[in-house]
Homo-oligomer: A and B are copies of this chain.
Amino acid sequence: MAETATTRRSRLTPEREAELYEAVLDLLREVGYDSLTMDAVATRTRSSKATLYRQWGGKAELVARSVRHHKPVGIAVVDTGTLRGDLHAMTTRQDDCEMEQNSSLMRALGTAVHSNPDLLAALREWLVEPELEEMRQVVQRAVDRGEVRADNRAIDYVLHMIIGAVVARTMIDNEPPTQAFLSSYIDAVVVPALVA
């Protein structure tokens, strides 16, 4: 039947794709990037390795897209009318539990990229670049409104300020990153550096 042939050639359903990404993240948390194998992903998700390689090319891209899929909706879509409002809208996209899970994942991947250049490239393509692009839009709106000077040098460092603080939080303060921490940090550091 023509329909069956089409189905057979088609991409995975969104539900199946989501299920697969969740399984990859579970495996990542269990064994870490270096010990994660495409065999284990295939077994856990009852897929063929051929399917995995055809759809994602390899482990690095599969992992990067799994993390991307898990991320909350971008902030650029939230236009509150002020820079501070837009940045704060970011902190409420994840609850504290999700924030800790994500930062733990990013710490582990942040270590793994140093011995896996293909992982670094995939994370930059699927996570960092989209995140930078969204941040550019948020800042551009603030520049257009006259809130931020176009030549403010902190513009290039918004992600460094924010990601860095979340990643360093536990070691410096012996507390997990939370919405309350991030809100306070945005008001104390990010907004003053940009609006200065």
Contact = CB atoms under 8 A, between A and B. Distances in A.
A114 B104 contact: yes
A14 interface: no
A46 interface: no
B170 A113 contact: yes
Nearest to A127: B171
A172 B123 CA distance: 9
A109 to B, nearest CB: 8
Interface string A98-130: 000000100110110110000010011000100
B172 A168 contact: no
A152 B192 CA distance: 10
A42 interface: no
B108 A157 contact: no
Contacts of A165: 157, 160-161, 164
A189 B125 CA distance: 26
A185 B185 CA distance: 17
Contact of A164 (B120, B163, B192): B163
A132 interface: yes
A136 to B, nearest CB: 13
**Residue in A108, A113, A160, A174 with the greatest tally of chain B CB atoms within 10 Å:** A160
A175 to B, nearest CB: 11
B193 A128 contact: no
A157 B169 CA distance: 10
A153 B187 contact: yes
A189 B154 contact: yes
Contact of A154 (B120, B154, B188): B188
The 4 closest A-B pairs by CB, nearest first: A164-B164, A153-B188, A192-B196, A160-B165
Given A110-B167, A157-B189, A164-B165, 12 more contacts: A110-B111, A113-B170, A123-B171, A159-B168, A159-B172, A160-B164, A160-B185, A163-B164, A164-B166, A164-B167, A167-B168, A196-B196
